[in-house]
Amino acid sequence: MNTDLLRRKTMEIMARHRGPENAIKRDELVFQLSLWDGPLHAMYERNKENADRAVRKIYTSLPIASSDAGLYIPRTAAELAEFKEYMARAYGQERAYARVKVILAYYPALAAASMKQQDLGI
């Protein structure tokens, strides 16, 4: 699997999915990425769950948020806060903190002055 290619392609695809109302379903992202990478495509054909795990490792290191609607790039501090709450409920505070930290590394402006840093767990 070409991780660098898949990271770039993930961000290209996600550029069209800004905000939770424009979220893409995770299985659709996995399918689209599988078209760009032979080993991932073979994995997708054999076992979609393994392909999903491989793609999850990639997008969790990128500024991508998730919700019940799917995956998206947050545009506002409020969307980031909603994502943090969603992650904390589903996976715990530690994982929520780690994901928010990744997003803020890419988009520091999302830590708006009106938001207290402790609200984001930083």
What does pTM read for this prediction?
Answer: 0.88
Asked if residue 69 and residue 11 are part of one domain, the reply reads yes
Asked if residue 94 and residue 65 are part of one domain, the reply reads no
β-pair partners for 32: none
d(CA 34, CA 58): 13
CB 69 within 8 A of CB 23: yes
**Cβ burial 81-91 (10 Å sphere, 16+ → b, else e):** bebbebbbeee
Asked if residue 47 and residue 11 are part of one domain, the reply reads yes
- At residue 122, the pLDDT reads 55
pLDDT one-digit tens code per residue, 48-79? 999 999 999 999 999 999 999 999 999 999 99
Which pair of structure tokens corresponds to residue 99?
């994901």
Residue 62 belongs to what domain range? Answer: 1-73
Asked if residue 101 and residue 44 are part of one domain, the reply reads no
CA 116 to chain CA mean position, Å: 23
pLDDT one-digit tens code per residue, 22-47? 999 999 999 999 999 999 999 999 99
pLDDT one-digit tens code per residue, 71-116? 999 999 999 999 999 999 999 999 999 999 999 999 999 886 445 5
User: How many domains does one find in the chain?
Assistant: 2
d(CA 27, CA 31): 6
Asked if residue 62 and residue 14 are part of one domain, the reply reads yes
